[in-house]
Homo-oligomer: A and B are copies of this chain.
């Protein structure tokens, strides 16, 4: 403000600011290591005022997690246009952007255990709230993929391919975060190839997946990621 007097925030605005500040801190270091004092300092308010908006670190962590989950799910938005391989590659880039931005917090969360303040009470409720949130993001990814594939009802085998690939994307991102020894762009392409490869393996057992794979491949340009993989596999097999 031009007067130099700090503008007073409304309750909801202050809550949102605190969530943003906390998410930033929880992302950059393991959430266990972030204190309420630090959050207060970063937000430019007193510790008691933080407690006025959030009863404790746990509730602030859960609110930050909720915002991160919405952010991540929004990165799965992708127009239903153009070849599937290129669509998936764009989503993978945004996924790794997210992972890159939230590294330590993402690792702590996905590696399980009470990612934050056990504090004695509430750790069980916290764990199940956290798991429910992670599951909701996985489910959003799953629904989005099926919709891009044009599949309304997946066979058990196709469901397994898609869900297990989602977990492969998670573990690949987690392994990448541990040392970042492989360029992330390579892993983004690799995960697109992995999807096609896992589908190709499953297609042997499942006519639905085989039909889907043929459709996917048919629409791919000769220089797209799926075609590139197919060429490579042929040369490996020969």
Contacts and interface: CB of A to CB of B under 8 A. Distances in A.
A143 B193 CA distance: 26
A1 interface: no
A237 interface: yes
A114 B124 contact: yes
Interface of A: 111-114, 118, 120-121, 123-124, 127-128, 130-131, 156-157, 159-160, 163-164, 167-168, 170-172, 175-176, 179, 181-182, 186-187, 190, 193-194, 197-198, 200-205, 210, 213-214, 217, 229-234, 236-238
Contacts of A175: 159-160, 163-164
Given A172-B164, A175-B160, A111 B124 contact: no
Contact of A167 (B171, B187, B205): B171
Contact of A213 (B170, B182, B213, B236): B236
Contact of A112 (B127, B167, B171, B238): B127
A200 B200 contact: no
Contact of A168 (B124, B128, B167, B229): B167
6 contacts: A113-B130, A157-B182, A197-B197, A200-B236, A203-B232, A233-B234
Contacts of A198: 194, 197
Given A172-B164, A234-B234, A236-B213, A113 B124 contact: yes
B160 A172 contact: yes
A166 to B, nearest CB: 8
Nearest to A236: B200
Contacts of A171: 163-164, 167-168
Contacts of A127: 112-114, 118
Contacts of A229: 201, 204
Q: Which of A124, A131, A186, A217 has its CB near the most chain B CB atoms (within 10 A)?
A: A124
